[in-house]
Structure 1
Amino acid sequence: MTDTTLSQPSVPLFPIDPLGTDRHGEAALMRDLGPVVRAVLPGGVRMWVVTDYALLAELTADPRVGRDWRTWEALRRGDIPDDWPLLGMIRLNNLMARDGAEHRRLRRPLARTFTRARVEGMGPRIDQIVTMMLDDLPRRAAPDGTVDLRRHYAYPFPMQVICELIGVPEAWWSRFRALLETVIRADTTADQFLAAQQERHDMFQRLFAMRRAEPTDDLTSALLATVDGESEDAFTDEELEDTLWTLIGAGHETSISLIVNATRALLTHPDQLAVVRDGDTAAWSQVIEETLRWDSPVGNFPARFTTEDVTVAGVTIPKGDAILAPWSGVNRDPRQFGETADQFDITRPVKRHMAFGSGPHVCIGPALARLEAMAALPPLFARYPELRLAVDPADLSPVPSIFSNSVTGLPVHLGPEKR
């Protein structure tokens, strides 16, 4: 790989752990190295990392920093191979990878269809799904009596919600999930990545054909109307495919991790769980916001690209270079959240965080993630008041990913039900 920072030898190089073994320890080490470091990703690909909360917030709002991967000089030069597995998170043809007028064009149809009203209108259905899954949890117990909450609750719940919202046939849900895991996992091979990209394209083309022949009340049908219409905001098929792919990924992966991380946080902080039990509904909102800050569902997110030379904390990031956003890392920045930044405290006065990103490309789905977490967490703890971890927290395995910040399983003992 060609390194564009040879003229700045003082900038520390930091090898990112692709398996996310110690996400927060890694973030702390990078903070200790300085406000700007150079991360080394799998395959030797290098990206800048801004470790300071305030500086990253400022950088993501800088008009000289965008999301269009076509401005990435390393990719243009051919330094990044087409089968580099992490490209699946970067080389998209939707609003997440466009800037300026093109970003606004692609965001408008989505803003008109993926509305708060549509999301909140799913409230009764979401509650129904939660009740059904809570009823089913005891039947999911292993021979030793443990239940994996991630596998049997946190994963299927948001996956079902986003797939119903988009209009994905139920028989496809598990396959879409498998394809998404191929994209976010660090142990994906080049061949697996290319095969997954082709398969998801084929599935979306089948879905489009179905919804064109028989539209229903779902996002796919609503957005296809813009593809097939004459509006200046009309999507192409490729833009719609990548938009829905991103919605499915962001619409369930974030919620899975949020539900898992919040449950784990409460079970390992009984003092905080007591505060919630003694509080009202607002206390659960505090749990959700503090989890989003303390253990953000997204670890590191690629990538933004400089369209001009940009200087941050005295370091010049050259035009055309890539920037990795360490969302979970900056959300524990003590310069922003004080000396207790590493502590889980739902009564924390400073609530603002960047779990959903920042700047013009901020996530469009936080309302859905919060709605799902609020629907999933209170009834879980109400139904199973003796819920407890079945293993030592240190034995929980992190998701092997640069992006996803959670654990691969959450084995618990449910205890007796309370109806």
Structure 2
Amino acid sequence: MSLSEPLTLDPTGSDHHGEHRTLRARGPATRVDVLGVTAWSVSDPALLKKLLTGPDVSKDGRQHWPRFAETVATWPLALWVAAENMFTSYGGDHRRLRRMVAPSFSARRVAALGERVERMVDDLLDALAATPDGQAADLREALCYPLPIRVISDLMGVPETRREGFRELVDNVFSTTLTPEEAAANTVKLYEALDALIVEKREHPGDDMTSLLIAARDEEGDGSALSETELRDTLLLMISAGYETTVNLLDQAITALLTHPEQLAHVREGRATWTDVVEETLRYEPAVKHLPLRFAVRDIPLADGQVINKGDAILPSYAAANRHPDWHGESADSFELTRSAPGPEHLAFGYGAHFCLGAPLARLEGTTALEKFFARFPDAELGVPVTKLRPVPSLITNGHQTLPVVLRPAG
């Protein structure tokens, strides 16, 4: 295929590593087809960081994407660019919206959640311990899903009766195999569920983020508060991003450790920490592979002579960048907990002004669940060969459909 022709990204994500190698081979930025939308996939970490921190790139398609109106009418991923919250905002609007959410994810608030997260993990592991000897448990279903759902639902005040319904709807947001009609129908149901939550919380407010955001929306009249649409779409962002990414973090970390016992030994023998496990997993198998979309505010000349034209769509390809050999050398494709680079060297939580507010909470959940799981089940092993694990059918989210594990509890 000529480099001038867009590379069509596989909506099922069946061979994402091979696809990411192809992206890197085509240069720092290359044109791709994302379910019918042409965008620039950026897989070079240096270029990606530059674009994500400068004023030349926006997340507001309404302002900066000429194809916005025609695309959102039929594109299966329309919700990723059409929602009105801090995820899809630019400049002053982004700062205003982020300011209203940030206090809920402060270091103090996240640290205060530590004991609750530990209790949740212990309860889930107690239930797993009842698995019959020799029988594989699906850890994605029994641990990776329920922990972040409980945490974000408690934080947001989502009642127990609504949680399972939100899960299915959010899963479909991350799916890239739905038809436009299926995606549109899912969006309608999702907004109906969010509207019902808002009505319930207006009538019965609690000590939760949803109630606080509703109060700010209803009480502040100086123009700095959320609009009704921004309120609903902010809840959408918090609930969806708050659990889907952590599900995949736990899934991929357990998979990596069970298939790299020498790396697990580093932790058990004190040469690496559970924090190292979380950070290397986020680099090696980030929860999100590509994140739609950003838009060029003006023409952006590239070093190789190409130009990202004003109004062009840009697709940050975080997973491809995380394994770029210019960043991590010849070992970029290896899972290694003892990398010498200080601090987290990955883009799994984004970069710049849109860096994920929920990163500290995801890290807390990850380190707590992994440490407790491997202490409780030190001899756990995959229930199927790793080659039999099936990826979630998506070019966005990065996890497995199931994660069967034989537990073998400690005696």
1:109 aligns with 2:100: yes
> What do the CA deviations read for 1:260-314 (whole angstroms, capped 9, x no partner)?
101100111111011111117x611111111111111110001000111111232
- 1:352 aligns with one of 338, 342, 345: 345
- 1:331 aligns with one of 322, 327, 341: 322
Q: Give the Cα separation in 2 of the matches to 1:253 and 1:323.
A: 23
Partner letter of residue 20 of structure 2?
A: A
Partner letter of residue 41 of structure 2?
A: V
Find the counterpart in structure 2 of residue 411 from structure 1: 404
- 1:285 aligns with one of 248, 258, 275: 275
Structure 1, gaps ≥5 residues long:
1-8
Greater alpha carbon shift after TM alignment, 378-387 vs 109-118: 109-118
Residue aligned with 1:90, SS: helix
Q: Give the Cα separation in 1 of the matches to 2:142 and 2:276.
A: 25
Partner letter of residue 249 of structure 2?
A: L
> What do the CA deviations read for 1:99-141 (whole angstroms, capped 9, x no partner)?
1111111111111333232222221111111000000014456
Partner letter of residue 218 of structure 1?
A: D
Find the counterpart in structure 2 of residue 132 from structure 1: 123
CA contact (8 A) 1:114 1:219 kept: no
Find the counterpart in structure 2 of residue 95 from structure 1: 86
Residue aligned with 2:82, SS: coil
> What do the CA deviations read for 1:343-362 (whole angstroms, capped 9, x no partner)?
11000012421110112111
Q: Give the Cα separation in 1 of the matches to 2:324 and 2:255.
A: 21
Report 1:59-208 matches (<5 A).
Answer: 59-70=51-62, 71-76=64-69, 78=70, 80=71, 82-139=73-130, 145-208=135-198
Find the counterpart in structure 2 of residue 301 from structure 1: 291
Find the counterpart in structure 2 of residue 56 from structure 1: 48
Partner letter of residue 375 of structure 1?
A: T
Report 1:32-47 matches (<5 A).
Answer: 32-42=25-35, 44-47=36-39
Q: Give the Cα separation in 2 of the matches to 1:126 and 1:237.
A: 31
Report 1:214-363 matches (<5 A).
Answer: 214-230=204-220, 231-279=222-270, 283-313=273-303, 314-350=305-341, 351-363=344-356
Q: Give the Cα separation in 1 of the matches to 2:109 and 2:131.
A: 32
Q: Give the Cα separation in 1 of the matches to 2:57 and 2:204.
A: 42
CA contact (8 A) 1:12 1:37 kept: no
Greater alpha carbon shift after TM alignment, 83-92 vs 392-401: 83-92
CA contact (8 A) 1:168 1:207 kept: yes
CA contact (8 A) 1:295 1:328 kept: yes
Residue aligned with 1:344, SS: coil
TM-score, reference length from structure 2: 0.95
Runs of 4+ off more than 6 Å: none
CA RMSD of aligned residues (A): 1.6
Deviation at 1:83, TM superposition (A): 3.3
Structure 2, gaps ≥5 residues long:
none
Find the counterpart in structure 2 of residue 371 from structure 1: 364
Residue aligned with 1:147, SS: strand
